A and B are shown apart, each in its own frame.
Chain A
Amino acid sequence: MIEQISNQRDKNDMNIVIVGHVDHGKSTIIGRMLVDTDSLPEGKLEQVRETCRRNSKPFEYAFLLDALKDEQSQGITIDNARCFFKTNKRRYIIIDSPGHIEFLKNMITGASRAEAALLVIDANEGIQENSLRHGYMLSMLGIKQVTVLINKMDLVNYDREVYKSIVNEYIKFLNKIDVMPKSFIPVSGMIGDNIASKSNKMEWYEGNTVLEELDDFKNEEMDDNKNFRMPVQGVYKFTRDGDKRRIVAGTVSTGNINVGDEVTFLPSGKKSRIKSIEGFNIAKKYNASAGQPVGFTLEEQIYIKRGEVMVSSKDDSSVVTSRFKANLFWLGNKPMNVGKKYLLKIGTTKVGVTLEKVVRVIDASSLKEQESNTIRKHMVAECIMRTDSAIAFDIATEILETGRFVIIDDYIISGGGLILEEIEDTQMWVRDKVLKRNSRWEKSMIGYEERIRQYNQVPTLIMISGNNSELRKSFAKELEKRLFMDEKIVYYIGISSVLYGIDADIKDISPSSDKEYMRRLAEVANILLDAGLILIVTAKDICNYDLNIIKTSINNHNLISVWIGDNICTDLNPTIKIDEKSIEDGLTDIVSMIYEDKL
């Protein structure tokens, strides 16, 4: 049997997760499948039987899995155990996941690695809290193939009515969350009914055995038909052995792209054309498609960073904003609170995020809704999130891969979410102009890195604010002089240099609520940064909103925000705050920041 499989195994491996409430018999079912498919190492079964005999414990199939001392002593699965078995069709990697509520995060870790799931419900005990919760989590994790096993049928005398009532009750629940299981099977892991072979005690059941049902699951296909998306993992320039390539690397998450295609990087909106597809020990490639790890060189050298999403320029379906509505599940020990700052990771982007509003909290097992300002552990919530800067994403129902994110709290992944819809943010009017400008930008033959090497400096905007005009300006001028003496290419602009020239047409239009003058200042800054300069700008009472306009306009360029003066009188959170009596230290600090920043 093994020989037959091995020759075709390439196409036919599948990851399966087994979930369900604690003690409903997940490990027993796996143990039974391992024995019935003859997949255990020689002597393992005898060894476990012997251990049981010595400890005067009845033998259980579950013991086969409990490789760890920790687990055996508590009798529960703490983490996901993996094991392998084979049927005539293919090889399975089974992930046994814990049914205990405390270990939901482990269940999610296990389930997210699976292509299909078996959800186990104890016929004798009926539907329990985690039977429901796990069902909900499977749907949120995006696992579409689910078969429900009604286990321990031997304990209810193989009664058809018991089976039917559980099935009906569970379907009712799943319908509410829009999930439809592939099938239901009455089984007994302990006895072996309907696992590998048909049970003769349940003539009333005419469906597949568990193994037949597993063989019926379909392998996940990579999605080539969707729009092209590739989160940039890194931009590499390894110079060893004279390598001159500058490679944009990542894994294609959906769609496909060809050499010669024009591509756009979001959220910056910068464009270029694919010159080549790079790889090590591979045949020359002209096309890259979903699932493949790749590297591209580009025709025009544009400055892009890890975290941007590469899309085809022909397609404008990707969303760029800093606010969105999401469906989120929380796993953190500390509840998630409105107004608190977290980190969000989506694709290869990592950005600060605030929970702006909780629309409703849903108990994942009872589906009861409530209003709240906090999302407690194991709860699901519909909420509005606001990121510190704009990110590129998709609506999860359109492209799942770029429509889901995780939340980091205190260093640890503490929640996950699916994006339901984008919401307009305060930067939309600036961003629209920036995206258009970047797509029309006339690209030079000199790349960002080349300028850095030639000028021996990283272009940086130093934005100086404070409410003492004299102090602000004298600081900026002194800083400019010091950097200039150090042979840096540096330039100082005071806001008034812009107000009476570039802003002459709007200067007297008041009140300018959108702060168009700030956008224009930022546009000037962007040009000078692109030229490779270190730029020092002063303006009074810069607030967070102003800084966001600047950030949106200058894309990936370095920005150091400085507040001079003892008290910050706006909502700005500057990179560095300099007290009036420590001006000299402040100058030294900023100069050293400029020096530390090398490519």
Chain B
Amino acid sequence: MNRLEKLEAKSIYILREAYSEFKNLCMLWSIGKDSTVLLWLARKAFFGHVPFPLVHIDTSYKIPEMIEHRNKVAIDWGLDMIYGQNVKALENKETYPDGNITRIQCCKKLKTEALQKTLSGEGNRFRLNHETKKYEIDDNNEPYEGVILGIRSDEEGTRSKERYFSPRDENNNWDLGDQPPEFWDQFNTDFPLGTHVRIHPLLDWTELDIWEYIKKENIPVVSLYFDQGDGTRYRSLGCAPCTSPIKSNAKTVEAIIEELKTGKLSKIAERSGREQDKEDGGGLEELRKDGYM
């Protein structure tokens, strides 16, 4: 087996373990390349089906193409699609684009808080009705016990500390210094009431692995990753006001792979276009302890 096959096998194993061990399970889908690969791996693991809901945290500031892509794929693949939103913060204009709070505070409100409430069921979940093709408020507000997400350990420092199955306590806290051990493909899937477990099937993948797999499997990704003719493309996707494209002429998956391989980007951080990372040395770590992805 080559590297991609080994990575794929490990991720599928983790997904199937998660599906067997958790009753209320969901997968976070940011519409970005990583979680799109994760979604594809779920279809691999479950023979074309995705037997749990996909959850998207919609800050309302996402680049419009992302939402279009989400809705199209959700309908084409018959996904159980749910989005969550911090409606109150948006109504009160407690956002960075409104000029009322910092970027980090904005992430905290529109992403971290929205995510926590969507997972716990305290906040409204908007679920896609495949007949009307519209989102409706979901009756089910049982908390999710298991949350699958597409973080990779090579993204930045904190993520390299993650386990495949990582428990969070009732306040979403991540006790970095005291994580349970994980070995021999056995994971911590038992947990006391009130806690939930984050599941990370892509931990061992790199940015290059992701693109090579997208190419190998011919996975549809949002067009923002490619140069549309103005000599720029997005390398990492987020909210429009805080995400900027990089200079690149890569118009195809092959060109992106070539770009990553030739090392033109190898010494620039993948998330260099994400402004919130720069605000404070430990900002991202603080956010992640609170539950940020």
Residues of A that sit less than 8 Å from B by CB: 2-3, 6-7, 9-11, 13, 40-42, 67-70, 78-84, 93, 105-106, 108-109, 111-113, 141, 222, 233-234, 236, 238, 240-241, 243, 245, 247, 249-251, 278-281, 291-293, 295, 306, 331, 343, 345, 348, 404-406, 408, 411-413, 416
CB pair B180–A105 under 8 Å, yes or no, is: yes
Question: Of A41, A222, A293, which one neighbours B13 at CB under 8 angstroms?
Answer: A293
Tell me, yes or no, whether B63 is within 8 Å of chain A by CB. no
- Nearest chain-A residue to B258 (Cβ)? A6
CB pair B177–A70 under 8 Å, yes or no, is: yes
CB pair A280–B181 under 8 Å, yes or no, is: no
A345 to B47, CA, bound (A): 26
**Shortest Cβ distance from A73 into chain B, in angstroms?**
11
Q: List 16 A-B contacts (CB under 8 A).
A: A2-B262, A2-B266, A41-B269, A68-B176, A69-B281, A69-B285, A79-B161, A238-B47, A240-B49, A241-B78, A292-B5, A345-B186, A348-B20, A406-B183, A413-B180, A413-B188
CB pair A279–B47 under 8 Å, yes or no, is: yes
Residues of B that sit less than 8 Å from A by CB: 1-6, 8-9, 12-13, 16-17, 19-20, 43-49, 51, 78, 153-154, 156-158, 160-161, 163, 176-177, 179-184, 186-188, 190-192, 204, 206, 217, 261-263, 266-269, 281-282, 285
CB pair A6–B8 under 8 Å, yes or no, is: no
A279 to B161, CA, bound (A): 32
What's the count of A-B pairs with C-beta under 8 Å?
A: 160
**Shortest Cβ distance from A226 into chain B, in angstroms?**
16
Which 9 residue pairs across A and B have the least CB separation, nearest first? Answer: A67-B157, A112-B183, A105-B181, A42-B267, A6-B261, A293-B12, A238-B49, A82-B160, A10-B2
Q: Which residues of A contact B268 (CB under 8 A)?
A: 41-42
CB pair A109–B181 under 8 Å, yes or no, is: yes
A106 to B179, CA, bound (A): 8
- Nearest chain-B residue to A281 (Cβ)? B217
- Known: A105-B180, A108-B183; 9 extra A-B contacts, CB below 8 A, are A3-B261, A67-B156, A69-B285, A79-B179, A84-B206, A238-B46, A243-B48, A249-B45, A291-B1
**Shortest Cβ distance from B219 into chain A, in angstroms?**
9
CB pair B184–A112 under 8 Å, yes or no, is: yes
CB pair A67–B3 under 8 Å, yes or no, is: no
Q: Which residues of B contact A82 (CB under 8 A)?
A: 153-154, 160
- Nearest chain-A residue to B153 (Cβ)? A82
CB pair A84–B154 under 8 Å, yes or no, is: yes
Q: Which residues of B contact A113 (CB under 8 A)?
A: 183, 204
CB pair B157–A233 under 8 Å, yes or no, is: no
Q: Which residues of B contact A236 (CB under 8 A)?
A: 46-47, 51
Question: Of A78, A108, A249, A348, which one neighbours B181 at CB under 8 angstroms?
Answer: A108
- Nearest chain-A residue to B186 (Cβ)? A406
Q: Which residues of B contact A6 (CB under 8 A)?
A: 261-262
A465 to B186, CA, bound (A): 38
**Shortest Cβ distance from B74 into chain A, in angstroms?**
14
CB pair A331–B47 under 8 Å, yes or no, is: no
CB pair A243–B44 under 8 Å, yes or no, is: no
- Nearest chain-B residue to A252 (Cβ)? B9
- Nearest chain-A residue to B13 (Cβ)? A251
Q: Which residues of A contact B217 (CB under 8 A)?
A: 281
Q: Which residues of B contact A278 (CB under 8 A)?
A: 47
Q: Which residues of B contact A240 (CB under 8 A)?
A: 49, 78
A361 to B52, CA, bound (A): 45
A13 to B161, CA, bound (A): 20
With A278-B47, A279-B44, A280-B44 already in contact, the answer to whether A234 and B183 are too (CB < 8 A) is no
A18 to B20, CA, bound (A): 34
Q: Which residues of A contact B163 (CB under 8 A)?
A: 109
Q: Which residues of A contact B180 (CB under 8 A)?
A: 105, 412-413
With A295-B47, A404-B184 already in contact, the answer to whether A343 and B190 are too (CB < 8 A) is yes
Q: Which residues of B contact A222 (CB under 8 A)?
A: 1
Q: Which residues of B contact A408 (CB under 8 A)?
A: 188, 190
A234 to B46, CA, bound (A): 10
**Shortest Cβ distance from B198 into chain A, in angstroms?**
15
**Shortest Cβ distance from A50 into chain B, in angstroms?**
13
A82 to B267, CA, bound (A): 17
- Nearest chain-A residue to B187 (Cβ)? A413
CB pair B269–A280 under 8 Å, yes or no, is: no
A32 to B114, CA, bound (A): 42
Question: Of A78, A249, A251, A292, which one neighbours B176 at CB under 8 angstroms?
Answer: A78
Q: Which residues of A contact B161 (CB under 8 A)?
A: 68, 78-81
CB pair A293–B45 under 8 Å, yes or no, is: yes
Q: Which residues of B contact A112 (CB under 8 A)?
A: 182-184
With A3-B261, A68-B285, A343-B190 already in contact, the answer to whether A106 and B49 are too (CB < 8 A) is no
Q: Which residues of A contact B262 (CB under 8 A)?
A: 2-3, 6
**Shortest Cβ distance from B285 into chain A, in angstroms?**
7
Q: Which residues of B contact A406 (CB under 8 A)?
A: 183-184, 186
CB pair B181–A245 under 8 Å, yes or no, is: no
- Nearest chain-A residue to B49 (Cβ)? A238
CB pair B157–A11 under 8 Å, yes or no, is: no
A485 to B262, CA, bound (A): 74
With A3-B262, A109-B163 already in contact, the answer to whether A413 and B182 are too (CB < 8 A) is yes
Q: Which residues of A contact B191 (CB under 8 A)?
A: 411
Q: Which residues of A contact B78 (CB under 8 A)?
A: 240-241
**Shortest Cβ distance from A63 into chain B, in angstroms?**
12
Q: Which residues of B contact A280 (CB under 8 A)?
A: 43-44, 46-48
